[in-house]
Amino acid sequence: MNDMKNDLYLRTLRGEKVERTPIWVMRQAGRYLPEYRAVRKQAGDFLTLCKTPELACEVTMQPIDRFGLDAAILFSDILTIPDAMGLELVLEEGVGPVFNKPVRSEADINKLTVPDAEDDLGYVMDAVRVIRKELDGRVPLIGFTGSPWTLASYMVEGSGSKEFRRIKGLMFESPQAAHTLLQVVTDSVITYLKAQVAAGAQSLMVFDTWGGMLSTANYQTFSLSYMQQIVSAIKSDAATKDIPIVLFTKGGGQWLEMMADTGCDGLGLDWTVDITNAKARVGDRVVLQGNMDPVVMNTGTTQVQDNAMQVLEGYGQHQAGDKGHIFNLGHGIQPFAQPDNMKALVDTVQGQSSKFHA
């Protein structure tokens, strides 16, 4: 990693002593940036933007160029895998992601196969390669996936949901069918992440957006056990074993110990988790990532600076035995966020966090 100009993020994930807290932001390439909106307009729609490697690279680089963040994250979507499985993803304005061919029966489940990462999802790997070349070692590149439970939820519901009636119904009524579905998705995720690493991703993140709506027992059985498979597969493969992997379950603050037991390198915290408490519970086992409330980014620079300092102070002094902290929001930055606030956030973390690393 000696060719990296800024490897602070990777060094933190490796548990090394660092001079300040690194920062990146979920959805940092997104609609709050006017330059992103211009490229999306040029692409015509979101999926075309995702599937055109040069444009995906351009929007990945925008927040790096503008704000000097400490890591880039591949511009893509969590629903690329189900789309490659033939479910026909469309993004409807005002509705969000919708599948034309959702999974509605055991026959539908049994027809699913693992997509070929370089063939069916080659545009993602091409984007990784183009971005790594363009980054030229400035900062590391994060690859990512949705968790099996989250992907299966979208696949069965056919779109986002508030009640998750269909996927939970499948889980309660036909647990074996649910496990069959989750296993093919997990196998696909493992193949997909390994291909991202082969193409140049230097760190991985699993977004378990919907795990938090499960009971503890069902979370363990239907979400965490499959994320455990992913971590084990990455850590047991010579080609990927040194690539750090971060798990993030939105609404999963009560399960941090179980998540740390997977052997992952880091845990994302949403904004409902007290970071001081999280550090006491698992901070000597995993790096913590988070966790300012993203809505603060829609307010003023004073509020951003104050809230950023609260998170830094909440983690507190970095001492021997601590794994470390990566600053992030507790979920993705929102379209209404002010670009000036991102600058204020990055400047605050990069300018003020060194005092916590004395």
List residues with catalytic annotation.
27, 31, 40, 77, 154
Three-state DSSP at 12 gives helix
Tokens at 21, concatenated: 């807290």
Beta bridge partners of 266: 246, 287
- Cβ contacts of residue 294 below 8 Å, gap of 6+? 271, 329, 330, 331, 332, 333, 334, 337
Concatenated DSSP letters for 120-163?
TTHHHHHHHHHHHHHHTTSS-EEEEEE-HHHHHHHHHHSB--SS
- Report which DSSP code applies to 334: P
d(CA 69, CA 342): 10
Q: Where are the alpha helices (DSSP H) in 200-320?
A: 216-219, 225-235, 256-260, 275-282, 301-315
Measured on CA atoms in the order 299, 302, 308, 309, is the torsion positive or negative?
negative
Give the number of other Cβ atoms within 10 Å of residue 129's Cβ: 15
Tokens at 40, concatenated: 């999306």
Bin 314: left if φ > 0, else alpha if -120 < ψ < 50, else beta: alpha
Closest-CA residue to 353 (of 61, 18, 21):
21
Cis peptide before 291 (omega within 30 of 0): yes
